Amino acid sequence: MTPEQTTWFAETFDALVANVGQALLGKEETVRLVLIAMLADGHVLLEDAPGTGKTSLAKAISATVQGSHHRIQFTPDLLPSDVTGVTIYDQSSQRFEFHPGPIFASVVLADEINRASPKTQAALLEVMEEANVTVDGVTHPVGRPFMVIATQNPIEQAGTYRLPEAQLDRFLLKTSLGYPDRASSVEILAGLKDRTAALRPRITTQAVGTMADLALTVHVDEAVLDYVARLLEATRDDAQTSLGASIRGGLALVRCAKVAAAADGRDYVLPDDIKVLGQAVLAHRLVLDSEAEFAGVTATEVVARVLDQVAPPALRQG
């Protein structure tokens, strides 16, 4: 990136965060993470209790980038075609026509994704990985930007299906919104209205694609790549994991770090970018062994230990 492009990227990113922040008060860090995922062409898994603003987040992001937004309520009787769409024969034209499902949107909120059957969950694998939907042998692109924000309720587990590791690995990062602080809560209660309705677009969907392409050009030193590789190996070698982070996890970490660097006004990645994003990108990809799980150890604790133990490289800035 040129210096002018770097400055434009950082200023635009801050404007996007501020705009979405008008609808989600006191959640700047989470908003930054989700926007980083969008500009890295990735998807987000939110694990939160009901009523924390997950739908507002998806609506606010789609409004900010002048995109479309669909919400899919996942239930046990939801079929794959209810998500991807279906081909229907039109008698008047005597042709089969494809009727796109709600997955065709800039931002798709997959609410309580773990309530759908594994077959329906699997319908998301292709579109999340390739941004395409194949129905009856015909491939349909979903467009760009495209981001799935999936939610899970960590409290109520009755009637849910655990997300398989292959699907968890498709999510670029996992985070949570949580409840707002008291000052933000008071401001929200005083409004009693949908804050997303008043949001104005800050950029177009085409500009989002431009930002994503620019982020790909951010330089990553070989020493930083080696640092990521050592982190991945450390999660696999940890005594409390039965499955560590995959190479897809490492690629996701590098992609997010590139966007974070550009958002900070840099055209190069620092080890600190990796450390800051490591928890959100890697923790949900780990599988703990049975003894560690029984002892109450969490994947978050394992990643925190790995980030503390693996020494980052010393780089000259600039």
CA pair distance 187, 211, nearest whole angstrom = 33
Is 159's pLDDT higher than 80?
no
Which comes out higher in pLDDT, residue 217 or 51?
217
Q: What is the mean pLDDT of residues 89-97?
A: 84
Least confident of 104-113, 150-159, 170-179: 150-159
Is 253's pLDDT higher than 90?
yes
Would you report the helix, strand and coil content of the chain in percent, each value rounded to 5? Answer: 50, 15, 35
**What does the buried/exposed string (b/e) look like for 276-302 if buried means 16 or more CB atoms within 10 Å of the residue's CB?**
bbbbbbbbbbbebeeebeeeebebeeb
> What pLDDT shows up at residue 304?
94
Q: What is the mean pLDDT of residues 219-226?
A: 95
Burial of 225 (0-12, 13-18, 19+ CB in 10 A): middle
pLDDT tier at 149, thresholds 50, 70, 90: very high
> What pLDDT shows up at residue 42?
92
Q: What is the mean pLDDT of residues 288-300?
A: 88
Alpha helices in 40-163 (DSSP H): 54-64, 80-84, 118-130
Over the chain, what is the mean pLDDT? 88
> What pLDDT shows up at residue 235?
94
* Six-digit token string for 228: 């990521």
pLDDT digits (tens, 9 = 90+) for 98-134: 899 999 999 999 988 888 888 888 888 888 888 899 8
Residue positions counted in the chain:
318
Contact status, residue 63 vs residue 154, Cβ threshold 8 Å: no
Is 150's pLDDT higher than 70?
yes
> What pLDDT shows up at residue 90?
82
Distance of CA 113 to the CA centre of its chain: 14
Is 157's pLDDT higher than 80?
no
pLDDT digits (tens, 9 = 90+) for 9-58: 999 999 999 999 888 888 889 999 999 999 999 999 998 777 777 888 88
Which comes out higher in pLDDT, residue 1 or 139?
139
> What pLDDT shows up at residue 317?
54
Tell me: cis bond preceding 118? Omega within 30 of 0 counts.
no
Give residues with Cβ within 8 angstroms of 66, minimum separation 6: 201, 203, 204, 205
> What pLDDT shows up at residue 193?
65
> What pLDDT shows up at residue 1?
80
Is 318's pLDDT higher than 60?
no
> What pLDDT shows up at residue 316?
62
